[in-house]
Amino acid sequence: MNSQLLSSADGSIDKPAALETSNLTFCWDRLQPTLRFPDLNLPRGEHLFLYGPSGTGKSTLLSLLAGMLSPASGVVKLLGTEFHTSGAGKRDRFRADHIGVIFQQFNLVPYLTAEANVTLPCKLSSRRQSATGESPTVAAQRLLSALAIPQSHWQRKVTQLSIGQQQRIAAARALIGAPEIILADEPTSALDSDNRDRFINLLLGLAGERNTSVVFVSHDRSLARCFHHQIELGQVSA
Amino acid sequence: MKFRLALSLATASLWYRRKVLALVCLTLTLSVTLLLGVQYLRTEVKQSFTSTISDTDLIIGARSGQLNLLLYTVFHMGDATNNIRWSTFQALEKDARIDWLIPISLGDSYKGFRVVATDKAFKEYFRYGQGQPLKLAGGQWFDGIFDVVLGAGVARTLNHHLNDDVILSHGGGRTSFSNHKDTPFKVTGILEATGTPVDQAVYISLQGMEAIHVGWESGVAIPGRTLTPERAQARDLTPSAITAVFAGLDRKILTFRVQRDINQYAEEPLSAILPGVALSELWRLMSQFERALLGITGFVVVTSLIGLIAVLLTLQAQRAHEIAILRATGASPGLIASLYVIECLGLAVVACLTALVLSSLAISILGPWLLTNYGIQIQLRPLNLDEWVLLASVPLAALLVAFVPALSAWQKSRSQGFGSPEEL
């Protein structure tokens, strides 16, 4: 059950892949062991659960997928583009255009309001700005309402909000402008179980509406049931 | 679009960290204010220095160096090397090329202020600044032998009013043991403040100077031989010698010829100097000091800029999370670096503008007070080119030093992983 993620279960080959990797390895420095990652192949609009204890390189894998680190060897293909061979500037632009991110915590720029945090990707990417269809502010407000952030909080400094609210605002930021891929790095680890379930349901629901693939990393295996695919890290690492 | 984003992020970030940054900004503001103030004072002092005497074409005294002659006649510093005979003065009066002459006799003092014996020509022809004449704040110019006119600084310091009695002292110095106590003077006039050494002297007639020295030929008063005021009126008090002469010529073009003629005067050794030339020579001596002062102030600004960079670098540690978010959202390392440049530049511009407001406020408040209390004339005026350049060099320097935190941020964010650094 660890690695049931080869093609889609129903074998629909024509569904384009959101991300594909093969033979991916990474090494922080010579003293540390090389990290080897299982091959991934995630079709557009489907969700992947990455599970693994700490130290298995979950965050490193996300860094490689986000193009913030370059692999020692192997191939990363996002939306059909060979990502790892592009220059750093191109990867930054690709990330701005096609990837939404959610961190474990400290997700928000502390000096911006909730709304300004959500519209941030639209300011970095004209593609995502035009994908909102309306003004980014309206899109942000729509997402904030959908994620149950009270209107009175939209103009507040994010540091005044609860952790649960902050994580949902981060989800809104990842979702705005309908990127093809969302990378989430243990976004629920600081939440209680009620908040956690609510967060995952909202995130996956809204992502589904936008045909966005979510790659969700967690050490909490019980969350796996919500995802189309799951994969366990650590077993493959040398 | 990216620039506008960087600008709005930098502004929001500056505002968010305003409590810490206000302090470094204040340091920078104060040092820029100091820099502006010193530069401003430099030009103003030079201005007021070179305007201590105006329209006088030649200063004539006994043979000596031009600085010495300038110092004792105009600035009342030091002493004359010798006197000029009265007959020489009379010969100068006959010179057709000379328009006017102001005879000056120095040597006595009043409570530390120089006594200048002269005549009506001083009030009439002496000019300072841009050819401004002397004005009386009260009373009139001396007429009688025992009348005295006080400079504005003297009247203010010693709190003298019209018709006060004044006892002059023999020789210089603040406390003199030999006073001309038999011959008191009466204050008939007080001059308006000029911001020049004129304010720091008292003016009597040449006859008055002569009268108080009758019986003092040996250097001290010989009892019974000094004059009483009544007996003075009856005597011929034409001086036998004076200290120096200010001269104005009819035609400025003849200045050098007259100067040469006077320098070659056969009857006695004389020196004639051009006050403008002597003043600029004197200023050259002093400008070393004011340049050093400006240099020190420049270093103060550099120090505060280094302080600013130190704070920005310290804040960088705090900003790891927000940089991680921006990077993960797709911001390039260049955008992150530009945040630091904009913030540093913004702080410097704010500091410069505040310094500009602060120094104009200080000058407009302190200006009148300085004039009345110290005789220094400082007025608010638009900045000159030099000062604009100096002011603009502060944001430019800030831009330059901003590359220290910017480069460090650029480098860090290039190797930035997903999430905050410590989580990896």
What is the pLDDT tens value at each position of chain B, 424 positions in all?
578 888 888 999 889 888 888 988 999 899 999 888 888 888 877 877 788 888 899 999 999 888 999 999 998 888 888 899 999 999 999 999 999 999 999 988 888 899 999 999 999 999 988 888 999 998 999 988 899 999 998 998 899 999 989 888 887 666 666 788 878 899 999 999 888 889 889 999 999 988 888 877 777 777 777 777 777 777 888 888 999 999 999 888 999 999 999 999 998 999 999 998 998 888 888 888 888 888 888 888 888 888 888 888 888 888 888 888 888 888 888 888 899 899 999 999 999 999 999 999 988 888 888 777 666 667 788 888 888 988 898 899 988 888 888 888 888 877 766 655 444 3
- In angstroms, the separation between the Cα of residue B25 and the nearest Cα of chain A is 19
Which chain A residue's Cα is nearest to B326?
A109
Closest listed residue to residue A174, CA positions, set A82, A62, A58: A62
Bridge partners of residue B179, in order along the sequence: B169
What does the alpha-carbon distance between residue A215 and residue A227 come to, in Å, rounded to a whole number? 9
Residue A123 forms part of a structural domain: yes
Domain holding A146, by residue range, is 17-232
State mean pLDDT over A203-207. 88
Residue A197 forms part of a structural domain: yes
Q: Closest partner residue to B16 among A59, A101, A110, by Cβ? A: A110
Give contacts of A66 with chain B, Cβ < 8 Å.
Answer: 328, 418
Contact B423 A59 (CB under 8 A): yes
Which chain B residue's Cα is nearest to A159?
B16
- Long-range residue pairs from A7-14, CB within 8 A, at least 24 positions apart, any chain: A7/A41, A7/A43, A8/A43, A8/A46, A12/A43
Which A positions 160-199 lie with beta carbon below 8 A of chain B?
A: 173, 183, 185
Whole-number pLDDT of residue A159: 82
- CB distance B184 to B158 below 8 Å: no
Taking the CB of residue A17, how many other CB atoms lie within 10 A of it? 18
Q: Which residue has the tokens 């009758």?
A: B214
Contact B332 A92 (CB under 8 A): yes
Residue A79 forms part of a structural domain: yes
Please give the interface size between A and B, counted as residue pairs whose CB atoms are below 8 Å apart: 93
Residue A55 forms part of a structural domain: yes
Residue A80 forms part of a structural domain: yes
Q: Closest partner residue to B417 among A59, A99, A112, by Cβ? A: A59
Measured CB to CB, residues of chain B less than 8 Å from chain A are 1-2, 5, 9, 12-13, 15-17, 321-322, 324-333, 414, 416-420, 423-424
Give contacts of B13 with chain A, Cβ < 8 Å.
Answer: 111
Q: What is the dihedral of CA A205, A207, A213, A216, to 10 degrees?
A: -70
What does the alpha-carbon distance between residue B259 and residue B265 come to, in Å, rounded to a whole number? 10
Domain count, chain A: 1
Closest listed residue to residue B205, CA positions, set B255, B248, B149: B149
Whole-number pLDDT of residue B112: 86
- In angstroms, the separation between the Cα of residue A120 and the nearest Cα of chain B is 8
Taking the CB of residue B419, how many other CB atoms lie within 10 A of it? 26
Contact B414 A88 (CB under 8 A): yes
Report, in this order, helix, strand and coil percent for chain A, each rounded to 5.
40, 20, 40
Question: For A9, how many CA atoms within 13 A lie in the half-sphere containing its CB?
Answer: 8
CATH code of A155's domain: 3.40.50.300
Which chain B residue's Cα is nearest to A112?
B12
Which A positions 123-152 lie with beta carbon below 8 A of chain B?
A: 123-126
What does the alpha-carbon distance between residue A238 and residue A34 come to, in Å, rounded to a whole number? 7
Taking the CB of residue B75, how many other CB atoms lie within 10 A of it? 17
Give contacts of B325 with chain A, Cβ < 8 Å.
Answer: 103, 106-109
Contact B330 A99 (CB under 8 A): yes
Contact B417 A88 (CB under 8 A): no
Contact B332 A99 (CB under 8 A): no
Q: What is the dihedral of CA B367, B370, B373, B377, to 10 degrees?
A: -90
Q: Give, as one character, the DSSP assignment of residue B178.
A: -
Amino acid letter, residue B69: L
What does the alpha-carbon distance between residue A148 and residue A142 come to, in Å, rounded to a whole number? 10
Give contacts of B9 with chain A, Cβ < 8 Å.
Answer: 109, 112
State mean pLDDT over A162-189. 87
Residue A89 forms part of a structural domain: yes
Residue A176 forms part of a structural domain: yes
- In angstroms, the separation between the Cα of residue A100 and the nearest Cα of chain B is 7
Closest listed residue to residue A185, CA positions, set A65, A40, A16: A65
Residue A124 forms part of a structural domain: yes
Contact A103 B420 (CB under 8 A): yes
Partner B contacted by A101 (CB < 8 A): yes
Q: Does position A1 have pLDDT exceeding 50, yes or no? A: no
